[in-house]
Amino acid sequence: MLTLFSIFSILLSLFGFNPDKQLNDPKAKTLLDAVSKTYKSYESIEATFTLLSFNPQQNKTTNQKGTVYLKGEKYKLLMGKQEIICDNKSVWTYLKDIKEVQINDYEPSKEDITPSNMFTIYQNDFNYMMNGDEVVDKATCAIVDLMPKDKNKPFFKVRIWVNKNAKFIKQMKVFDKNGNTYTYTVTTFNSKANLEDTFFKFDKGKHPEVHIEDLRM
């Protein structure tokens, strides 16, 4: 999510539309609906990914690895020295380097990109269009571009690569208005993770040394 991953902030200006491409193409919607149906059929998911961030002003590229767990609206994100856990009511942000956990109320916006809605985000205030095919890690993927209707968003485009056979998102690239790009590539995917609801809560008992900063209302 822009807010959750704290990386999805994102120019260049809206890319020019090819007159041969159709905005909100029914073929794109059919594919996106199939992706959404696939993910909703899984009770819980565990996926590892790489994040490639590029800053053109500094001509700098960084590479990180992470793991995301999903179960309905609940999620857990592990990346570097940070864990973000959400049980659909509260969000725990565990900052390992300073041994602190910040707790906030979960107040999602339907327009924010979060782990729990990244597969259905196109349904809310986004235009979408097909943009050809490409092979990613030996898998043939259909490319779909998502553009927010709200031009005040910090990003202007989200590009996703959908595995045409398995109907899941293999890769996602976010373009922000500062010219930065963030590319997430799924490296492993487990649709039978069998995760308990307690997995999506921060366990203070396992981290007695951690300071808790409860910011909930």
Residue range 130-184, pLDDT digits in tens: 999 999 999 999 999 988 888 888 889 989 999 999 888 899 899 999 999 999 8
- Give the torsion through C-alpha atoms of 169, 116, 107, 66, to 10 deg: -70
Rounded-to-10 torsion of CA 98, 101, 107, 108: 60
d(CA 145, CA 137): 20
Residue 16 has pLDDT above 50, yes or no: no
Spatial neighbors of 115 by CB under 8 A, at least 6 apart, are 1, 4, 68, 70, 75, 77
The pLDDT-based confidence of 128 (bands split at 50, 70, 90) is confident
* Chain segment 73-124, per-residue pLDDT in tens: 899 999 989 999 999 999 999 999 999 999 999 887 655 566 666 666 666 6
Specify the number of domains making up the chain: 1
Query: What's residue 116's pLDDT?
Result: 60
In which residue are the tokens 């996106």 written?
32
- pLDDT over 90 (residue 12): no
- Mean residue pLDDT across the chain: 83
- pLDDT, greater one: 3 or 185: 185
Place of tokens 């492993």: 188
Q: CATH code at 79?
A: 2.50.20.10
Q: For 18-64, what is each residue's pLDDT tens digit? A: 334 457 788 888 988 888 888 888 999 999 999 999 999 999 999 99
CA-to-CA distance for 81 and 138, rounded, in angstroms? 31
| Whole-number pLDDT of residue 122 | 62
Residue whose entry in the numeric block shows the structure tokens 């208005």: 177
Q: Quick one: tokens of 172?
A: 């996602």
Task: Give pLDDT, residue 38.
Answer: 87
Domain membership of residue 55 as a residue range? 2-214
Q: Which pLDDT belongs to residue 72?
A: 84
CB 69 within 8 A of CB 181: no
Looking at residue 2, its pLDDT comes to: 35
DSSP class of residue 36 equals H
The half-sphere exposure of 149 on its side-chain side, counting CA atoms within 13 A, is 12
SS3 call for 209: coil
pLDDT at 3 over 60: no
